[in-house]
Chain A
């Protein structure tokens, strides 16, 4: 694998993660528990999709095959997407949405803190920009985890159920393959094993305050690095890509 191929795939992985997280969260618009929270979720979705746009634009540039960010977002099939299984999970109740984003935000916070130092200047600058937003997202979801865990019996139960359901998708976030191997040598990618301890420490710190627990002995799911997804991604893409495929080249 050449450096160019590895960088292209790495950018797809980062871009797809935020595109799918953002798209899923946008499904939540107008369904928030109250107005301010609805606005918050829509804003976060917008940040994520905006950042995905920057990453996929750069991916298209690196690939150098005359494709655009839109082509990459709307004309690839399920097996060509590299977002995590966590990102594509359907929304469920509000506690589920917050827990999912909390796991993803803690990961992103440490990942993007390191990515800012990437030897690839464009990637480093996109990361520096995104980190400011991710920090806000993490603050938001951390506070929600505490509020839900420390709230009523009902909210605590729902948050704990969400954790029990979603935890199995978290170890995949730290997986590394040939792409990482090539890019680590060039000091472009982040060694995700190096951020795993920080991730656990932050998650446990927030859960301790919230009175929530990480489950033990969970079989961890995997596959997205190879483009193998849960059944939910196909349905998401069908909706997200429908317009662009029905009207090729459509632009706002």
Chain B
């Protein structure tokens, strides 16, 4: 039987299907690991309710478990606490930036107001670092991203929404 630590190491090798520079562990999707007797329970939480990557991630976890000879396991989905971008490490956020996706801001006070549009968020361009950017659309190529444009270097870019 593999130790919980070894399992974490296996899972750290699974990239996010949409953003392959970060792993599912770094993204904060894997919430907990535990053994119930001989059975390994892997607890995951969805990023967005309808995120199609979730089924791809379950398949990837399945494959990695089988490759590592772990047969007695079960994937459990929990919704509480709801996934937040605050679970992403600083390193993961830096990887996103280098990849060309503006990483999510830290949770801000009165975040609800940001979401309902009472005031706007400051987002830095991942290419030139300028904060002179403008929201093109709150909805991007995947559920977790918004579209922005940099007014300094004129590049369009994705922003990983802070939720």
Contact = CB atoms under 8 A, between A and B. Distances in A.
A interacts with B: yes
Nearest to B118: A139
Given A47-B49, A133-B49, A39 B115 contact: no
Interface in A32-85: 36-37, 39-40, 42-44, 46-51, 53-54
Contacts of A46: 48, 50-52, 143
Given A43-B143, A126-B79, A136 B115 contact: yes
A95 B48 CA distance: 27
A129 B54 CA distance: 15
Max chain A CB contacts within 10 Å: which of B49, B83, B140, B161? Answer: B49
A138 interface: yes
A135 B46 CA distance: 17
Max chain B CB contacts within 10 Å: which of A37, A124, A126, A133? Answer: A133
A195 interface: no
Instruction: Sort chain A's interface into a size bin.
Output: 20 to 34
Interface residues of B, number: 26
A135 B137 contact: no
A50 B51 CA distance: 7
A128 interface: yes
B78 interface: yes
A217 B56 CA distance: 51
Given A46-B50, A124-B80, A139 B139 contact: no
A50 B48 contact: yes
Contacts of A135: 112, 115-116
Interface of B: 46, 48-52, 78-83, 112, 115-117, 136-141, 143, 147, 161, 163
Given A40-B138, A54-B49, A129-B83, 12 more contacts: A36-B147, A46-B51, A51-B50, A54-B79, A121-B80, A125-B79, A125-B82, A129-B46, A129-B79, A139-B117, A142-B116, A143-B117
Interface of A: 22, 36-37, 39-40, 42-44, 46-51, 53-54, 121-122, 124-126, 128-130, 132-133, 135-136, 138-140, 142-143
26 contacts: A36-B147, A37-B137, A39-B137, A39-B139, A39-B141, A43-B140, A46-B50, A47-B143, A48-B50, A50-B50, A50-B51, A51-B49, A51-B50, A53-B49, A54-B49, A126-B79, A128-B79, A128-B81, A129-B80, A129-B82, A130-B49, A135-B115, A136-B139, A138-B116, A140-B138, A142-B117
